[in-house]
Structure 1
């Protein structure tokens, strides 16, 4: 569910909520309910649910999608932060054959340990998009796929390729861990109340098995690469902040492996030599693909340079 910034007036935040059918939606929590049944049906269809599936739903709201998920799966675990929405959801299935199949988790999904699930379908609060994606992708045991609603630009970043204007650290990290496809554009008028941004639905399918890469190390390298994505790798690895962190890591590595560090040792010179030898010194992150980052990470690790 998209987050819409609260409007300011006379230096004070106005209450960012709307009343619809007696229920006030708090847009500061990202409460924009998907009202178009065709969009709901399309998302459920593209999830390709099986009757044996456990589905994780984030931000079920009043249950428009939850009911469809319950009809096609074995169990739905719905995670909701707002007790009022929980009450609405419980009322919706009360006394029906769907009630035993619904389990509700009340709380912030970012602070909650995710249960086992096969498929995740969610109309997310957009302010938690990035942290939730990585919480999802690092979750074990691995799930089959996720159908997630995002702000349009965020969705485009997820699927961006090297050289694209929106290609960024998010693109590289997500595509390392999963196959990502844009499946549906959703206009703002499909929500109640309408947000100020356009939306998109993305299908995320984790790579199974996961690539044999230490994700903390990988993300450390990619983070440096996208500090200034138009700068060369050579320029980026001369930044004082980068050199300081990597030198601390290197000295720790040397200590653990009984490597003697010469008195005239220069971490900056060492990283530059590695970049030149691996032919990445003049490369820029905005044009580097996953294979490039993997090759560069291996080149650094081989020489005892670590990023975590």
Structure 2
């Protein structure tokens, strides 16, 4: 009886779980990494270049007594370098898988006692532990919220070394007149000194993002240098000025939605300070809906479309523009501008006159455009509005 032929070995993967994996299977497993990175929801692009990681920590000038807050530690490539230089590192991570990975990386080592991992969204945290330095390979989706959260802190860190999308970094350091100059530029440079440190290419990340990146050094102003201005007041005024950055300030402040908002705030201010108001219908006054038109403005600009430098090819940041501005932008271009026969109240007429006085008589900034003014001009504008009883907080 003839013997049956033994089956030939093949390089294909065997169905038996006890078979030794082939070299090809090992390479495939290594390529797939431990788990799939979540680039859509969490913006997980892990910095894999050790030279860039060393440079980021070096630029922070860490002291042995420093406590560092790291946002989005990922697998811990920056974390281990921070722990080598600082007293303590507080890592805030939203992904439980990453939190476990960075914890496992220092498990059983002396650095384990110096690391504290907080699981959660840093933007939604009402309070943060005290820290001296902020370091982050920042997820693109939280770039502007993270910057504003840090600058609005009563006691901001000594310095922040943050990785951003290239365009967002350029907006942080843009000067008046630049195409990328926006509300973010004014706020950041009013409350801190911002310096571009270095460019970082796509290939330095795993997986590579679809945009280039840059590292920025932000040094919040403290002590006597810190502006003695309410953050809500300052930012509230800038929201109106930069709602349409290529229009004149007079046009930006004459839209019906802005006038209604200012009137509500003025009524509240008078009520809180026991200032009597003469209400009623103003004589021979008609409210015109076309007063926010600006003949010098010809079409939208790049700055109008996305003031914050939203992430291309990646989930853009949430629009924090007030809802009444969003409604205006959505419907304003489609509906014809017509006069309204609605009569204005005396308070509305008073508020309109106060705005005109501030823009034309006191500051003479009515014909200027938001993208051309520096922080000193906006500070002058805020003080003039406050002197007239107009507030934004």
Q: What TM-score, normalized to structure 2?
A: 0.72
Match for residue 59 of structure 2 among 46, 68, 71: 46
Matched, 1:279 2:377: no
Matched, 1:172 2:153: no
Runs (5+) with no aligned partner, structure 1: 1-17
Query: Secondary structure of the equivalent of 2:134?
Result: strand
Matched, 1:70 2:83: yes
Query: Secondary structure of the equivalent of 1:218?
Result: helix
Query: Secondary structure of the equivalent of 1:173?
Result: helix
* Aligned residues of 2:196 and 2:214 also touching (Cα < 8 A): yes
Counterparts of 2:270 and 2:140, CA distance in 1: 43
**Two-structure CA RMSD over aligned residues (Å):** 1.4
Count, aligned residues: 291
Partner of 2:101: 88
Deviation at 1:19, TM superposition (A): 6.2
Deviations 1:59-97 (A, max 9, x none): 111111100000000000001111111121122111111
Deviation at 1:26, TM superposition (A): 1.2
Partner of 2:389: 304
* Aligned residues of 1:19 and 1:25 also touching (Cα < 8 A): no
Query: Secondary structure of the equivalent of 1:253?
Result: helix
Match for residue 158 of structure 2 among 144, 153, 157: 144
Q: How does 1:186-201 map to 2 (within 5 A)?
A: 186-201=200-215
Matched, 1:243 2:327: no
Partner of 1:21: 33
* Aligned residues of 1:148 and 1:201 also touching (Cα < 8 A): yes
* Aligned residues of 1:237 and 1:271 also touching (Cα < 8 A): yes
Counterparts of 1:26 and 1:194, CA distance in 2: 12
Counterparts of 2:154 and 2:79, CA distance in 1: 24
Query: Secondary structure of the equivalent of 2:246?
Result: coil
Deviations 1:76-127 (A, max 9, x none): 0001111111121122111111111001001111122211100011001110
Name the CA shift for 1:194/1:247 in 2 (closer, same or farther; >3 Å). Answer: same
Name the CA shift for 1:91/1:256 in 2 (closer, same or farther; >3 Å). Answer: closer
Query: Secondary structure of the equivalent of 1:297?
Result: helix
Partner of 2:124: 111
* Aligned residues of 1:34 and 1:40 also touching (Cα < 8 A): yes
* Aligned residues of 2:68 and 2:131 also touching (Cα < 8 A): yes
Deviation at 1:232, TM superposition (A): 1.1
Query: Secondary structure of the equivalent of 1:230?
Result: coil
Counterparts of 2:272 and 2:121, CA distance in 1: 40
Deviation at 1:255, TM superposition (A): 2.3
Query: Secondary structure of the equivalent of 2:245?
Result: coil
> Rg larger in 1 or in 2?
2
Counterparts of 2:63 and 2:51, CA distance in 1: 20
Counterparts of 1:258 and 1:63, CA distance in 2: 57
Counterparts of 1:236 and 1:268, CA distance in 2: 13
* Aligned residues of 1:237 and 1:268 also touching (Cα < 8 A): no
Counterparts of 2:109 and 2:376, CA distance in 1: 52
